[in-house]
Amino acid sequence: MGSAKANSTPPPPGVYVPAVIFVDENEELDIPSIQAHVLRLAKGGVTGILVQGSNGEAQHLSHDERKQAIRVTRETLNENGFEHVLVIAGTGGQSTKETKKLCADAKEAGASHALVLTPGVWPTQMTKERILKFHRDVADASPIPTMIYNFPVVTAGLNLDSDIIAELGKHPNIVGTKLSCADIGKLHRLTSTLPSFEFATFPGSSSVYLQGLVSGSAGIIGALPNVAPKAHAELYRLWKEGKLQEAERLQALLGHADWELQKLGSIAGIKAVVSKHFGYGATHVRGPLTPRDLEAAGPAATAKLEELIAFEKSL
């Protein structure tokens, strides 16, 4: 199914959100809440939605559920006038064969790009050569452009350096990366090596959103826009208009709020905060994750998140 194309293009710059996927008390997909979340994100001005990023509990879903989530996201956007909002699919599997299938499934379900995590079950055997071969083999077969997802926390510590990612960026069907390592030095090396019209480099954390833009990033693919998409779109606007001091003040709030969210457990924390403040969804997660009780955490645990949400609702 070789389909690498010289005209494969990266996703346009902007705000991308790895959307959480809501489930009910039986851990089944909660389609109405998923749709409500997709619509709030789109109305909040995001450029695209990443389905089955780490925040989307990809590893907890069957292949059919993964396709369903992508399809529901794409259809919800199309039916509500948001055809321009991209859908990117996380397609990382633990084998090359499975990852190729997930890329094909993603295309069939309506995704425009695939974000590919490096397999981490056998980290000591994932040499540079095997990492390069895995991503090239997947990109060769994928019917949609692929992006490299670097997230050492969920790949048993595998941390792709800028040399490996830059080498992969020469492949005609590999068009970008998400750096959840949040390494700005690595990001800047990539943006100054690979042209932005061929390769989009995104930080994976709102803690370094503005810092990434200063270093030539394509924007953000981060968890915090699940809570505050408008605030992230606002920072992007301030940056584009050259209002650096205002952008720095907003970045400070985003950085503090993102840290609170991390300490709440990210996925469970996002669901708890969103269901409390935005009128849809519930705190349910798939085991072995457990829900987060914001009351038990205490008001100090979400002080900056509350400040950010107040700002979000003012926009």
Is 178 noted as a catalytic residue in this protein? yes
Is the distance from CB of 56 to CB of 94 less than 8 angstroms? no
Is the distance from CB of 315 to CB of 250 less than 8 angstroms? no
Q: Longest Cα pair distance anywhere in the chain, in angstroms?
A: 53
- Exposed / middle / buried, residue 197 (Cβ in 10 Å: 0-12, 13-18, 19+): exposed
DSSP H helices, the chain, are 31-43, 63-79, 96-109, 128-141, 162-168, 184-191, 209-214, 229-240, 244-263, 267-277, 294-297, 303-314
Is the distance from CB of 106 to CB of 70 less than 8 angstroms? yes
Q: What's the first-to-final CA gap in the chain, in angstroms?
A: 46
Q: Helices 96-109 and 63-79 sit at what angle, rounded to 10 degrees?
A: 30
- Active-site annotation holder among 67, 100, 107, 178: 178
CA distance 159 to 239: 29
Residues in the chain: 315
Question: Closest Cα to residue 250, out of 300, 303, 299, 211?
Answer: 211
Residue 246's Cβ-side half-sphere holds a number of Cα atoms within 13 Å equal to 12
Map tokens 């693919």 to a residue: 221
Task: Tell me the two tokens of residue 135.
Answer: 């991503």
**Exposure string for 78-96, b = 16+ CB within 10 A, e = fewer:** eeeebeebbbbbbbbbeeb
Catalytic site positions = 178
